[in-house]
Structures are given as structure tokens and as C-alpha cells.
Structure 1
Amino acid sequence: MQTLATLLAGGYRGAGLTKLKLGERLADGQLPQAILDDLGDTLEHLDLSGTGLASLPADFGARLPRLRIAFFSSCAFESFPAAALAGCGQLEMVAFRSNGMASLPAEAFEEEDGAGGSRPTPLAKRLRWLILTDNRLATLPASISRCGCLEKCMLSGNRLEALPDAMAACQSLTLLRLSANRMDRLPGWLLTAMPRLAFLSFAGNPCSSAAPSATTTRPSTASASALPHIDWKQIEVHHVLGEGASGIISKGVVRSSSGLSGESTPVSGMSTPALQSATTTTVAEDAVAIKIFRGALTSDGTPFDEMAANIAAGHHVNLVRVHGQIRFAEEEEGGEEDEILEEAEKTKEEIQDAFKGGIVMELIPPHYRVLGQPPSFASCTRDRFDDRDDSSPLSVDAALSILAGVASAAEHLHGRGIAHGDLYAHNILVTGHDKSSKDDKMDTHAILSDFGAATLYGTAGLLDPLLEKIEVLAFAHLVADVLGLIGDTATDETTTTVGSRLQDLHRQCEVAEVAARPTFATVVGRLTDIQSEWSSRPRTCA
């Protein structure tokens, strides 16, 4: 991070700076002129989040011709600065989270062409990633349809009642966040005419369901049960494991609780007894993970919707097992929503004061590793695998077990009217795939985690199959990623056949016509067949 004082003193002049991040408040809310004068020829990444910036000069785009990424979150823009940004011909990512923004002018994306018509602005031609989370937008302009490269659009926490029909022209749209708005229905084109849409969340809208229907749930071989309430006084917090946008996860125990018994039932043909034990905690006072949700909006939605999805998901061997929901006494419920735990460890009392509500989950053993890494600015909507914790290639057994487990978990969720919304490799925990024996199918286990973008949509609507098939496209991306991780671990004819079968499955899951994609039940069946063929292959003696 650079400093405002150094910038104003000309300390960065001629330094060839490509990225500038300032954290200090701007007293007048104006853009420092030194950014344009001293950095205009080189600056590609500008982050002024939290500075109180309220406006941009009209020549902003012309003075920063190389700018590709701009963050203005937690600033004071009441309206999208269309005049300043429309001319940014290289800008691919722009963020205005938490600005109190109430309007997005059509001129941001469309301009007159001089012949009585209109054309896309330079911004619209290149924009891939638009973040407008947590504002006061009630409408979007139809001109957003000019953003033909738009892949990721974050709109959670606004006041939107509908999307413009013209937005159907954004055919590159892959990830869309609509949670915590005021939409009483989803437009039909969003579910049928967006061939690349794979990651959708709309929890916290009138059109989403408060809970999956108990009477219309499709049959599932995975068990489900009502979650017990666990009194906060029974919980002993040991230390913090990690902190995310929606809350904090700590290691601890639940004293004298009978709510931690029971077993996850594996899906027939998709798991083994060894995998059952990997996700089952049966003894009270065993170590558990305790997630306490803060009352703050995330880019994906609200912690309250995330908690509801965790509770509604039920038990499945390829999901993180949730033992119970935390019950606070009325006088114990959390304090101010904007209190954030910034230190590495907090006492039980500090956690209690800062948060509202929580769940008790199984503690994932430390030998589990994430399958991939989240998207970068460059990859936008696709995971990365260049800096995995375990860089060894996947065996065919491991690849099939991972895909089968995740597909089974997704089938279970959609059977309960739940869309995960973020079915990515970086949300999948795996273990056992680095074993030397490629024939030990009991070693590899996958867990689909993170319900931050999940939506409870129920199972009674006519469009429910389409919601499932949108997520099938996300699974197609996962199949492609896993195929890439198999690498050249084997080249025999049987392995080549398995690869071909997985490539066929990938093609079926990614077809542009949403309704033509298979359901997760069909995907599970096809993976079971592939596993059976692989298991019955002729073995050669060592």
C-alpha cells in the first residue's frame, strides 16, 4: 500500500507505478490530481476503497489510458460516475461496493454514434467484472446489454425488483449475484437464454423459498434430520481457525450434548465405509468447528441465508456435517453488526458480543486440502490450479471419486430445493489422492463446502429443473478442471477410454441449451457406470 503523503509530494513520479492503493481518507472527497499527472502513463490497477472519494473528473479515462482494474468500494459515490468511466477503454473490472449508490446512468454503457443511433461506450466493450454490492440501486439501465464481455456481475444487497430484459444480450455472463434484493420472480430469459450462466444466487428475495418443501423433496439415499439446538453455554471455544466474509470459525467442543450423535449415510455406489467415518462425529465433547455468523452482507448474500442453507441441507457424506444450530439466550444475542473480529484469537465472550447466531459443524481433519484456488483478476470466473497445496497429479480413481462425490452432493441439495451457487474447485476439500496406490478407491474423499452463495428455492416451481441445470454447467467446468489435473498419470487404453467418457459427460453438461443438460441424478448414474467400468478393467501384475 502506498501513502497519500508520498503521492502528494511527488514521490511516485516517474517510478513506473502500475498499481496504487491508498487507505487514508481524502479530506475533500476528490481524486488527488497527482494520480493523473504522475501515474497516468503507467497505472493499471487503482484501489481507493475506504478513502471517502465522492467523484471523478470528467477526463479520468483519457488521463489513465492503461487502467484495467479500479476499486472504489466503501466510498461516497451516490451515482455511478458514468461521464468519467465511460471512456475507460481498457477497464475490465470496477467495484463500487457499499457506496450508498442510488443510480446507474445509461450513459455508462451507451453513447450516441453521431448518426442518430447509439453504440457501446469504451467501458462497455471491455468490462468483465462489475461489483455493485450493498448499494441502493432500484433499477439497472437497459444499456447494460452493451456489456458483451461481462462475465461476473455482483448485485446483492440492492433494491432491485427486476432485471431489464435487454440484459439477456449479456451472453458472456457466467456468475450473477442477486441475493438480498426485492425480486418476486426471476425473468424467464435468465434461466433459459444464458448459455454461460453457471453460478447464480438469489437468496433473500421474495422469489426464493424460506426452506425446502418437506412434502415435495425428491427421493434421496442420503439421510436428513432436523438439527438440534445447542445452547451457547454448552460451547467451549478453543481458538480461531479462520475468518471469512460471513463469519468466524473456531475450534471447540460442546459439553454434554446429545446432539452430536448420528451418522452420515453414503449414497449407494458412490462411497465406502471408510468415507462414512471421515465425516461422522459420534462422541460428545469431540472437537468441532463452531461458525458464528456476523450480521453483515457479503458479495454472495447474507449470513442469515447462508445459515439457513446449512441447516436445510441435511446430512450427506460429501457435505460438511452440521451437528446443530446455536441457541443464544435473548440477552446473549450479538451486539452491533459492524463489530468485526480482526485479531487472530478471541475469547468466547468477545465472539458472543460481536455476532448473532451460528452452527456447530464437524471439524474437517487437517489432511484435507482444497482442490483449487479462487479465480484471479485474469481468470475472472474460472478457478486456478497453479499454486495448489498438493501439486501431484490426480489418479483416475481419485478423479472419479471426487466427481462422483460432488455430483452426489449436488443431487442431494437440489433434491431439497437448494442451489449451492458456488460449485467451484476452491470450495471442494479432498483427501487421499496423493497416495502411491492408484487402485485404492477408499482413500479419496471429497467434501463440497461453503454455502455463502446458496439459495433455497423449494421444489414446487416449474422452473426448478432449470435452476438445477444452471448448476450442472458449473459441474461441467469442474469436470474439465479435474481432467486437467489427471495429467499423464497413465496412458493405457482403459485410462484413455475413461478420459473420453468424462469428456463426453463434460460436453453433455455444457450444452448451450439449458433444458437439454442432464440432471444431477443422470450425472451420478453416468459416473457410477464409468466407475464400474474402471473397477472391472483387466489388471496387470507388477
Structure 2
Amino acid sequence: MLWKFALDLDVGVSGEVLEGIIWVNLTMGCCMSKRSAANSRSAARWRSTGIVGLRDSNLKHFPSEVLELERAVRTLDMTHNKLVEIPLEIGSLANLQRLIVSENLLERLPITLGKLQSLKVLALDDNRLTTLPDELGLLVRLERLSVSSNSLISLPETIGSLRNLMQLNVSSNHLKFLPESIGSCFSLEELLANGNSIEDLPLSLCRLANLKSLSLSNNHISQLPQNLLSDCTSLQSILLHENPISMEQFQQMVGYQEFESRRKRKFDKQIDSNILMNSKGLDEGLDL
């Protein structure tokens, strides 16, 4: 292109300069050829394994090469990039099971996310999300959802449609409440909502019979649903540090003794298995 430009302007080009121009163009062509070959090899590997790993790639835009793979992709990890959006075309990855886009600059999610009917893991931590789309409730196979360290002020009521959800992490957001529909997430085993502004908990939490761990530290909770300990018969751990609730209140709840027995059995099992504990030892879950 540089050579043609010089000739079009009828500019005299010496043999030495012309040789340099040709060398530059050949070098650029060689680099483009190498890059194209590398992209082709990556695409072939992604298609073969179903795993697309693009962590720490300084990406500002979602690669079109990934979208072109469509049903071949099962895992997509784009952690620690500079993505500001996920394109609508993400819905074409119909067999995607794990989508990890943590540590980016996402402000919103596309409504086509609901088309990912095979999705089991969705990690969107450390972004700039203020809302989650109602279409999230269409991800009926979802087992793990992590959206910590965003700017969420609420969760969609449709989250109650996630009947296979086992782990939900909404810590470090701006939530003032959890939706009543969360009581319909019957498979939920772990709920992490530390570092929010939650004042009251929905009574529907008492329906979560499979819930084992409930983390609510650094909120504004002054009381728990009265039947939480008696109805959540799998509950073994509650973290309530930095909340305006006393140990006396907690101990007076219905089902406290049963909960305490489950908690001790859990730690006894860990000790018997030689599992190392952190510096807090047997954390009571409340500030005493």
C-alpha cells in the first residue's frame, strides 16, 4: 500500500527507499500471516477441546472467533480483561456449561443470556453490574452463580426459577434485601451475602431445607426469621459478624440446640479428617 501511494503521487522513489518499503510490506504481511495462523490454531484447539481460555488477554472486545464456534464451546473463561459488554450473539453458544467473565468492566448483561440453557456455572465477580436481567431465571440448569463485588441494588424475582442452584454468592454489593422468591431455590446449599446493606431476610428462607451455610456478615440485620433454625434442618454454619444482632437473640431462636449440634458435628468431622482451620478456630458465626 505504501509503494502504490508513492507511485500515485508521482514521487520519485530511489531503489534503496523502494527496497525498504517492500521490506516493510513483506514484514507486515508476514506478521499478519503468523497472527492469522495462530488464530486458526487457537480456534482448532478450542473446537477440539470445547474449552476457550482467554484469561489476562487484555481484551476490550468479545472475540468474534469464539462466537463462530457456536455449539462447540462448553467452557469460556475470560477473567481479568477489559470487556465492557457481552454481545447479544452469546446466545449462539448453545452448549456452553461454564461462563466465567470475572474482573472485567461489564455494566450490563444481554437478555440473550437466557438462551444458554446448558449453563451450569456463571461467574461475574468484580465487574460494574447494577442489575441482572429477568432472563437469568431461564437458566434452569444453573448450579453456581457468583456476582460478588459489583454494584447490584436488587436481584430479579425470577431467580426463584433456578431450582438446581446450589451456590449463590452476592457478597459485596448494595443489596438492601433478598427477593422472596429465593425460597424456591430448593437445591441451594450455600448462600453468601456478606458486605451488603440487608436489614430484613425473607421468610421464604425457611423453605431451604438443603441450606448448609448462610453468610450474612457486615449487613444491618437485627433479627432472623424465627423458624430459620428449626426449618432449615441441614443448616450447619451461620456467619453474622458486624450485624446488630446479639448472641442471646440467636440462642433464643426455635431450633437453636439442634443447629448447635449440627455445627459441632461438622467441626468434629473436620478435626477427625485433619482439616486445618483458620486463625479463628471454631468460628461461632456471631460477635460475642
Same fold by TM-score, threshold 0.5 exceeded? Answer: yes
**1:87 and 2:102 matched:** no
Following the alignment from structure 2 to structure 1, what is the Cα–Cα distance between the partners of residues 171 and 177?
13
Cα deviations across residues 404-448 of structure 1 (Å, max 9, x unaligned)? xxxxxxxxxxxxxxx855xxxxxxxxxxxxxxxxxxxxxxxxxxx
Following the alignment from structure 1 to structure 2, what is the Cα–Cα distance between the partners of residues 479 and 140?
36
**Deviation, structure 1 residue 200:** 0.7
1:33 to 41, 64, 73: 64
Q: Quick one: structure 1 residues 461 and 74, their matched pair in 2 at CA, closer, same or farther if it must change by over 3 Å?
A: same
Identify the residue that residue 95 of structure 2 maps to in structure 1. Answer: 66
**1:155 and 2:183 matched:** no
Task: Pick the structure with greater CA Rg.
Answer: 2
Cα deviations across residues 454-474 of structure 1 (Å, max 9, x unaligned)? 736532326755577567656
**1:168 and 2:183 matched:** yes
**1:46 and 2:61 matched:** no
Identify the residue that residue 201 of structure 1 maps to in structure 2. Answer: 215
**Deviation, structure 1 residue 31:** 1.0
Amino acid at match of 1:67: L
**Deviation, structure 1 residue 165:** 0.8
**Unaligned 5+ residue runs, structure 2?**
1-34, 224-235, 274-283
Amino acid at match of 2:214: L
**Deviation, structure 1 residue 166:** 1.4
Q: Quick one: structure 1 residues 472 and 98, their matched pair in 2 at CA, closer, same or farther if it must change by over 3 Å?
A: farther
Following the alignment from structure 1 to structure 2, what is the Cα–Cα distance between the partners of residues 144 and 470?
27
Cα deviations across residues 300-332 of structure 1 (Å, max 9, x unaligned)? xxxxxxxxxxxxxxxxxxxxxxxxxxxxxxxxx
Q: Quick one: structure 1 residues 466 and 74, their matched pair in 2 at CA, closer, same or farther if it must change by over 3 Å?
A: farther
2:130 to 102, 110, 127: 102
> Contact 2:50–2:73 (CA<8 Å) still a contact in 1?
yes
Matches within 5 A, 1:149-298: 149-190=164-205, 192-207=206-221
Q: Quick one: structure 1 residues 48 and 171, their matched pair in 2 at CA, closer, same or farther if it must change by over 3 Å?
A: same
Matches within 5 A, 1:96-495: 96-109=124-137, 121=138, 123=139, 125-190=140-205, 192-207=206-221, 421=238, 455=241, 457-461=245-249, 464=253
Identify the residue that residue 50 of structure 2 maps to in structure 1. Answer: 18
> Contact 1:7–1:34 (CA<8 Å) still a contact in 2?
no
* Secondary structure of 2:248 counterpart: coil
Cα deviations across residues 356-396 of structure 1 (Å, max 9, x unaligned)? xxxxxxxxxxxxxxxxxxxxxxxxxxxxxxxxxxxxxxxxx
Q: Quick one: structure 1 residues 50 and 169, their matched pair in 2 at CA, closer, same or farther if it must change by over 3 Å?
A: same
* Secondary structure of 1:94 counterpart: strand
Q: Quick one: structure 1 residues 170 and 56, their matched pair in 2 at CA, closer, same or farther if it must change by over 3 Å?
A: same
Identify the residue that residue 226 of structure 2 maps to in structure 1. Answer: none
Q: Quick one: structure 1 residues 17 and 470, their matched pair in 2 at CA, closer, same or farther if it must change by over 3 Å?
A: farther
> Contact 2:218–2:240 (CA<8 Å) still a contact in 1?
no
**Deviation, structure 1 residue 74:** 0.9
**Deviation, structure 1 residue 482:** 10
> Contact 1:162–1:183 (CA<8 Å) still a contact in 2?
yes
* Secondary structure of 2:119 counterpart: coil
> Contact 1:208–1:455 (CA<8 Å) still a contact in 2?
no
> Contact 2:151–2:174 (CA<8 Å) still a contact in 1?
yes
TM-score normalised by the chain length of structure 2: 0.67
**Unaligned 5+ residue runs, structure 1?**
110-120, 210-418, 422-452, 486-519, 521-542
> Contact 1:198–1:473 (CA<8 Å) still a contact in 2?
no
Q: Quick one: structure 1 residues 208 and 24, their matched pair in 2 at CA, closer, same or farther if it must change by over 3 Å?
A: farther
* Secondary structure of 1:156 counterpart: coil
Quote the RMSD (CA, aligned, Å). Answer: 3.2
Would you say how many aligned residue pairs link Structure 1 and Structure 2? 222
Percent identity, aligned pairs only? 23
> Contact 1:199–1:471 (CA<8 Å) still a contact in 2?
no
Question: Which protein has the bigger strand share?
Answer: 1
TM-score normalised by the chain length of structure 1: 0.37
